[in-house]
Amino acid sequence: MGNALINLAYLASATLFILGIKGLTHPRTAVRGNQLGAIGMLIAVVTALVDQQVVNYVWIIAGLVIGSGIGALMATRVQMTDMPQMVALLNGFGGAASTFVAGAALLDALQIDLALITPQFIVATAASGLVGTVTFWGSLVAFGKLQGIVKDVRLPGAQIFNAILLVVALALSVWLIVDPTAVWIYWAIVVVSSILGLSLVFPIGGADMPVVISLLNSYSGIAAAAAGFVLTNNALIITGSLVGASGIILTSIMCRAMNRSLTNVLFGIWVPSDAADSSDDVYGGRVKAANAEELAMLMETARRVVIVPGYGMAVSQAQHAVRDLVNLLEERGAEVEFAIHPVAGRMPGHMNVLLAEADIPYDKMKEMDEINPSFEQTDVVIVIGANDVVNPVARTNPSSPIAGMPILNVDKARSIIVIKRSLSPGFAGIPNPLFAADNTLMLFADAKKGALDIMNALKAV
């Protein structure tokens, strides 16, 4: 296949990638976008194999079979609540792949022809090793935190230690550029970057994990683009650049949604919880618990209902029970919508995916800016397992850890029902005055059980 046809095939795959990402911007077109991206990747892989004139496909076929088997197993076994962990692992594997590809290409060039080691080649090799390794180990820590098997580790002087590691990794990279025949320097970069990846993510709190995963996704794209320069592969360069740029944009959007700076996220800086009121001050004697029968009577005459899903809904797998409750409310003449906060759950779109899995129509899922003006005209808001994203102190208390964070204005609704197992705080570690508001009733229950209890009680009314 001539160079013109190779580049044309790569251009076609790049176009499909862009169209795929465009499709992923809306739930209604997400499936088609995913399919377009997959077709683009198939074209890119086949083109790369033809371009490199591969003769022996034994290892490639073996990798394809093993990888497909693992992927199919994960796709069928991983629960929707664990999807953020899945994304973290995939980010990490992408970074590791870039690291090993760059290392293999360096060894190959040293054995075949030193003339292949151009300035572009060796600079890209060092970048792939550094960024790819940081991505891999940082993603593994993020996975462990989301899975609950890794705790926050905050050591004195951690920021200085990280800065030293980064300087050492960059110095080694310069050394490798000056002397590319010293292969051990590349592996030294990998070792130092491994420690840096672990040290960077260990102190970052769980509340910032969605931002960290998005940033690591961007890192994996940057590492892939660098690997593309190592291999002189246009498709890999374009794909990596798309992932890197989209990851940075998403990270910026999420930081704004949480009123957090990227610097604070990366360095694990969070306002101390003692800057907020204590739970006794907020809740003492003011929380009103209710049972399902009382809540059913409240909802009997509701004409407009808004449901705010949170991570508690994901944990209890309550989306199907919530769908049945929505269907019952609509049968009784109520208008029902869902209010989706950008950082509800563990990653962007987490709630949308869960609700779509339960066949909730996309047009019922409203973003924060769209639905906030309508809360004052809402009869009942049902908060299911959400906390910080509906905490009004973000607007009222400048000293709060979440001060300035855009929230869903649930407190402005006529009546509020909160389904929650306890009064335990959210990721920010502060109490929520909404739970003690005059127009709030608490149903202390698992999200799934609470939704089913309300539905059954409503049927009996």
Helix (H, G, I), strand (E, B) or coil at 105: helix
Give the CA distances from residue 394 to residues 368, 398, 408, 431, in Å, rounded to whole numbers and listed in that order: 15, 7, 10, 12
CB 454 within 8 A of CB 296: yes
Which residue do the tokens 């269907």 mark?
327
Token digits of residue 437: 């508001």
- Can you tell me the distance from the alpha carbon of 410 to that of 437, in angstroms, rounded to the nearest whole number? 11
Indicate the DSSP class of residue 150.
S
Beta bridge partners of 325: none
Indicate the DSSP class of residue 333.
T
How many residues would you count in the chain?
461
- Can you tell me the distance from the alpha carbon of 368 to that of 284, in angstroms, rounded to the nearest whole number? 30
388 is catalytic: yes
Helix (H, G, I), strand (E, B) or coil at 407: coil
- Can you tell me the distance from the alpha carbon of 278 to that of 261, in angstroms, rounded to the nearest whole number? 26
Q: Which member of 388, 411, 446, 453 is catalytic?
A: 388
Name the residues annotated as catalytic: 388
